[in-house]
Amino acid sequence: MAEIIINGKPYQCEEGEYILKVCRRNNIPIPTLCHHEAVEPWGGCRLCIVEITHPKWPGWKRTVTSCLYPAQDGLVVETDSPEIRETRADLLDLLLARCPNTDLVRKLAAEYGVTKTSYTPRENPDDCILCGLCTRVCGELMGRAAISTASRGVQKMVATPFMESPEACISCGACVFVCPTDAMAQKWKKHMGRELKPIPSEFDQGMCGRPSIYTPFPQAVPNVPIIDKESCVKLLTGDCGACEIFCEPKAINYDAVDTIEEVNVGAIILATGFKIFDARRIPQYGYGRYPNVFTSLEIERMINASGPTGGEIKLRNADGIEKRPKSVGIVHCVGSRDDKTHKWCSRVCCMYSLKLAHLIKERTGADIYNFYIDMRTPGKSYEEFYEKLLKEGVHFIRGRAAEITDATLAEGEEGKLVIRAEDTLVGAVCRIPVDMVVLSVAMEPQTDTDDVRRVFNIGCSTEGWFLERHPKLAPVSTFTDGIFIAGACQGPKDIPDTVAQAGAAAAEAMALIDKGYVQLEPNTAFITEELCSGCKTCVGLCPYTAITYDMEKLRAAVNEALCKGCGTCVAACPSGAAQQHLFTDSEVFQEIEGVIDYV
């Protein structure tokens, strides 16, 4: 351990640790342009210069780059002395002559009082500050060296071999990511002939990119990052490993693999949720064709302060100041209450559409048009909310939207999306030009519902919603004991309903587990082994997988804990070996005889 004095205060550090690292750790600001934790310090931009002295060597004073100078015990460092500031200002003055239009340089220079370069600015400047981060990341970290600097002195530039698209490039995008200005993105596009697309963020509906290591969403459980195997360079080629360098507790484990855990439980609650309707299935609404037709979930992310736009409602294709929509159409029942798609009402769309209408109006002041079939606002305070929106001046047009088009017919429709619908209250077809369309998409069952239901041996409606045992008497139970359902996997419902149902399912499960034993009905089936021929007819027929085939005895056997006493096996058994308690043949015959006697 060593102790160094920075700006008059003592700090602990390792002997030989770079001064910049010590300063960064202790939040002492030092400007840098070419430094990055993931690559070796380079000392190219020279902005991180500091003044050093040592009490042991009176009169010794040097100006060194802190990113590369190893700390020695007793070293006295000044990071912001007037001389250092003056030299930095001069350096930034020089850099500003190279990159007079680059925001990063202008901002940093302004911090040092340089707003205009006193030197001769470069003709046709680009944004490249030659910090070397892109080439070093590509070479050191990615092990590719697909780009390097070519030429020297003022002619120096970042280039690919022979200025051609390099074979070594794996399009990892690290160079563009690490570039502190826009220079590399432009260069990449020029060399590769296309734009570099980030990995789309699943949670943000692909509206922004995400890294290869990421936390799926802010409330994820467990709330830790995961590595995307498909795109992580470390897992693909063995290079990179930048996240490991940044992770101070050294928590990153590249060797972790997917494992299947087997857990013994007493009850299972299925809460597999729903999936949203793919709006592309209704082509006349133009989703996927018109950039400014959004789904409600996309708008939901956009409105969120931690979303891709930081909570701003923005149009997709526009840039400049006119980013906000001036008018927005919200189309209800997209994929719901429709013979061609789903017949059911998704229950939540009316209310979330009203919520979005309210929020969009609040954020942008835009004109909002709702196209609805019926307003379905049952429940506490819902109707009142609808009333409030009517008063806020949100437009409601009763009628299913027929089409969304960019074909213009009338004045004022240019550059806008036109929603064509019949206003059934007026009895006329209307065309409403808007900047943005929100499709209130339906809820539908998950695509793998059928597989899941087979695994858990429960029932499923024709639409694909899991079936409860009884709508009123057993709304969270299924036909298999110990398996419960909750939430939208059972049918479309909103969050309060889901939470209520989940609570019920949890209580049911607890009731079962808490008892410590399972009470069975007495009418279970059994096999008379002497009669059983081992034909296995019953094994496949049992709906509760209660019958197994004993390979040693070559006979069928019934698991009484699973058997529900439905009698299917009994009816099907060709040899009469399968019998059911309380309903054995002799008991049935005696019952019949009794009845006949009575008659």
Partner 1 sequence: MRLTSIEDLERRRSEAIAAKDKVEQVILVCCGTGCLASGSGEVAQAFRDELAKRGIDMEVRLHLKTTGCHGFCERGPIVTFVPSGVLYQKVQPKHVPEIVEKTVLAGEIIKKLTYKDPKEKKNISQYNEIPFYALQTRIALRNIGQTDPQSLNDYLARGGFKGLEKALRMKPGDVINEVEKSGLRGRGGGGFPTARKWRSALKVKKDKLYIIANGDEGDPGAFMDRSIMEGDPYDVLEGMIIGAWALGSDEGHIYVRQEYPLAVVNLQHAIKTLRDDGLLGKNILGSGLNFDIHISRGGGAFVCGESSALMMSVAGKVGEPRAKYIHSTERGLNDLPTVLNNVETWVNVPIIIEKGGDWFASYGTAKSKGTKAFALVGRVNNTGLVEVPMGISLRELIYGIGGGMQRDREFKAVQTGGPSGGCIPAELLDLPVDFESLTEKGSMMGSGGMIVMDSRTCMVDIARYFLNFLLEESCGKCMPCREGLLQLKAVYDRLVEGAGVEGDIPKIERLSKTMQDSCLCALGTSAPNPVLSTLNFFRDEYLEHIRDKRCRAGVCKALTKLYIDPQACIACGKCIPGCPTDAITGAKKTPHVIDKPKCIVCGSCVEVCPTDAVRVEPARKPAEVTR
Summarize as ranges the residues that interact with partner 1 (CB under 8 A). 42-46, 49, 63-65, 68-70, 87, 90-91, 94-95, 97-98, 118-120, 129-130, 132, 148-149, 151-156
For 475, the enclosing helix (H) or strand (E) is none
Is residue 308 within 8 A of residue 301, CB to CB? The reply is: yes
End-to-end CA distance of the chain: 104
Burial of 35 (0-12, 13-18, 19+ CB in 10 A): buried
> Considering beta carbons, is residue 63 or 309 the nearer one to partner 1?
63
Minimum distance of partner 1 from residue 416's CB (angstroms):
49
> Considering beta carbons, is residue 119 or 589 the nearer one to partner 1?
119
> Considering beta carbons, is residue 181 or 364 the nearer one to partner 1?
181
> Considering beta carbons, is residue 122 or 395 the nearer one to partner 1?
122
Minimum distance of partner 1 from residue 62's CB (angstroms):
10
Minimum distance of partner 1 from residue 268's CB (angstroms):
58
**How are beta strands 148-150 and 443-445 bridged, if at all?**
unpaired
> Considering beta carbons, is residue 27 or 120 the nearer one to partner 1?
120
Quote the CA–CA distance of 503 and 39 in Å, as a whole number: 51
Minimum distance of partner 1 from residue 18's CB (angstroms):
9
Q: Where are the beta strands (DSSP E) in 468-532?
A: 483-485, 525-527
> Considering beta carbons, is residue 140 or 413 the nearer one to partner 1?
140
- Tokens (6 digits) for 450: 């059928």
> Considering beta carbons, is residue 2 or 94 the nearer one to partner 1?
94
Sign of CA dihedral 216, 220, 222, 224: positive
Minimum distance of partner 1 from residue 36's CB (angstroms):
16
Concatenated DSSP letters of 407-446: ---STT-TTSEEEEEEETTTTEEEEEEESEEEEEEPEEE-
> Considering beta carbons, is residue 98 or 191 the nearer one to partner 1?
98
> Considering beta carbons, is residue 63 or 215 the nearer one to partner 1?
63
Minimum distance of partner 1 from residue 90's CB (angstroms):
4
Concatenated DSSP letters of 101-135: T-HHHHHHHHHTT-SS-SS-PPSS--S-----HHH
* Helix (H), strand (E) counts: the chain: 16, 27
Minimum distance of partner 1 from residue 253's CB (angstroms):
28
If you ran DSSP here, which 8-state letter would residue 201 be given? P
Minimum distance of partner 1 from residue 93's CB (angstroms):
9
If you ran DSSP here, which 8-state letter would residue 11 be given? E
Quote the CA–CA distance of 45 and 404 in Å, as a whole number: 53
**Count of other CB atoms within 10 angstroms of residue 290:** 17
- Tokens (6 digits) for 112: 């040092």
Minimum distance of partner 1 from residue 67's CB (angstroms):
9
* Residue carrying structure tokens 């298999």: 480
Quote the CA–CA distance of 362 and 392 in Å, as a whole number: 10
